[in-house]
Each structure stands twice: as structure tokens, then as C-alpha cells.
């Protein structure tokens, strides 16, 4: 396994829509293992393909590992299947925009379907921080970063903060 370099905003690859993973190959398995190792080393709770320069619809996440409850997920070709009506503001950070957090309003519950490394289809509901993480990583697969969720004034202020860091 290897720790991969994480792309930093404004790298143009972070703004591109990713291609579906056609099949699970040994290269995809290695990429998933490397992405998990990279995420833990960063240290983060989620990491999407484009953040490591791979424009593929896949991400890894583990929202419990920092609290001693590791539960790593490798999500290939993920899609939201259901979106809850309740919304909340949460503070989000991003490994590709280090040192900056932004308040983003998102649904508090989502249901996602994805393919696992074993080729199986998974369906799971996520709520709270896990729902935020899923949506944040899915955004990366569609070329969306945290800045894109902000109104123009908040965006300009955070971009200036990021540029000064």
C-alpha cells in the first residue's frame, strides 16, 4: 500500500465529473487500499478518487475510526437512492482545502447504493455526520467542492482565508 498525494484546490481535476468504474480489477483494489491508507494518514474521514488524481466514481470513508470504532467503506459507483427532508448546517473540512472549514446545509439522512470491492451491491441509510460525509464525497465525484455550496460573500471570504494560509 502507498500514501498518495492529495490534490489541493484549485487543481482543475477537482472540478471534473468522474467516470464510472467499469469493473473491479486488481488496480481498483490497490487504489482502494491506497486511498484508505492515505485517508487515515491525512488524517481524514473520507477521500474521493479525484482527490488523488483518479477521475473515477469511487470513494472511501470511515467516520468512526477517530473515536476507536473503525468501519471502513469502499464505495464504487455510489448513488443516492433516498434523501431525507430534514436539513442541518454542519461545519465541513476537506483534505483538498486544508485549514478551512465551511458551514454547509445538507440533508441529515440519505440512503446510498454502491458496489463493494467484492462486486456486491450495497444499500445503507446514513444519518448525522455519516450522511454529511457521504454527501461530501459524492460531491467530489461530480466536481463539486465545499466552496461551491456557499453564497458569494461567504465563498469569497473563505477563498481569501485559504489563499492566505
Q: Which residues of 72-102 are buried (b: 16+ CB within 10 A; e: fewer)?
A: bbbbbbbeeeeeeeeeeebebebbbbeebeb
CA separation for the pair 48, 153 (Å, rounded): 27
Which residue in 23, 91, 137, 161 is the catalytic one? Answer: 137
Told to judge if 161 belongs to the known catalytic residues of this protein, a careful annotator would answer: no
Cβ atoms < 10 Å from Cβ of 126: 22
CA separation for the pair 126, 120 (Å, rounded): 19
CA separation for the pair 99, 50 (Å, rounded): 19
Residues annotated as catalytic are 137
Amino acid at each position: 500500500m502507498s500514501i498518495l498525494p492529495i490534490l489541493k484546490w484549485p487543481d482543475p481535476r477537482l472540478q471534473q465529473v468522474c467516470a464510472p468504474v467499469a469493473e473491479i480489477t486488481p488496480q481498483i483494489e490497490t487504489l482502494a487500499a491506497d486511498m484508505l491508507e492515505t485517508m487515515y494518514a491525512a488524517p481524514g474521514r473520507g477521500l474521493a478518487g479525484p482527490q488523488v488524481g483518479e477521475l473515477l466514481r469511487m470513494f472511501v470513508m470511515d467516520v468512526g475510526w477517530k473515536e476507536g470504532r473503525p468501519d471502513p467503506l469502499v464505495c464504487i459507483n455510489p448513488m443516492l437512492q433516498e434523501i431525507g427532508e430534514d436539513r442541518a448546517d454542519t461545519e465541513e473540512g476537506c483534505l483538498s482545502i486544508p485549514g478551512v472549514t465551511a458551514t454547509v446545509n445538507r440533508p441529515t439522512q440519505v440512503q446510498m447504493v454502491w458496489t463493494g470491492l467484492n462486486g456486491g451491491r450495497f444499500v445503507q441509510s446514513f444519518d448525522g455526520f455519516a450522511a454529511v460525509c457521504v454527501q461530501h464525497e459524492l460531491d467530489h465525484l461530480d466536481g463539486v467542492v465545499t466552496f461551491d455550496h456557499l453564497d458569494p460573500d461567504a465563498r469569497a471570504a473563505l477563498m481569501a482565508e485559504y489563499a492566505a494560509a
